[in-house]
Amino acid sequence: RTELGKKKKEVQGKLADAQKLLNSLTAQERAALQADQARASRDSMRNALNGSTASASGRAGAAFAAAQSVIGSPYVYGASGPSSFDCSGLTSWAYAQAGVSIPRTSQAQANAGTRIYSQSDLKVGDLVLFYGDLHHIGLYAGNGQVLHAPHTGASVRYESIGNMPFQFGVRI
């Protein structure tokens, strides 16, 4: 509990620092940041929908459809839906909508199914984990895209899987 308390304070401190930084932006800078986020979401969605994507089926398909239904929902650290999400909150909520219970954190979700190390073997709806400490997760969307809740100030959106250091996928 002591260690968790320390980690919680550390994360809360980082969030407070990030909020201070956001609050220090001028209205013009804030508008430019929002425009960049909106453009990234539109571009990613257009890229995800171009080309062929393998269709998802079964519970992965249901989870992916649930995640698609909340595109545009804001990222909020620790949120598990239905109106806001963090990365692992989105994936656990999406699979819950498909009737599948998976752990809440990205690190625990990394062990929730069968690992897939080659991006070419990923199927729509597979979990995809990023960064060496596995602190970020999303759902594979096909066509080299991931559907995820990226970070504070952004919303649930499609993004290229190559924009983050891919570690492996997990098939539930």
- List the catalytic residue out of 91, 136, 155, 172: 136
**Residue 136 is a catalytic residue:** yes
Give the residue from 69, 47, 81 showing the smallest Cα distance to 163. Answer: 47
Q: Distances in Å between the alpha carbon of 80 and those of 14, 30, 141?
A: 20, 26, 20
**Residue 87 is a catalytic residue:** yes
160 sits in the region (left: phi over 0; alpha: psi -120 to 50; else beta) called: beta
**Residue 134 is a catalytic residue:** no
What is the Cα Rg of the chain in Å? 16
- List the catalytic residue out of 66, 87, 124, 129: 87
Rounded CA separation 72/65 (Å)? 14
- List the catalytic residue out of 86, 140, 145, 148: 148
Task: List the catalytic residues.
Answer: 87, 136, 148
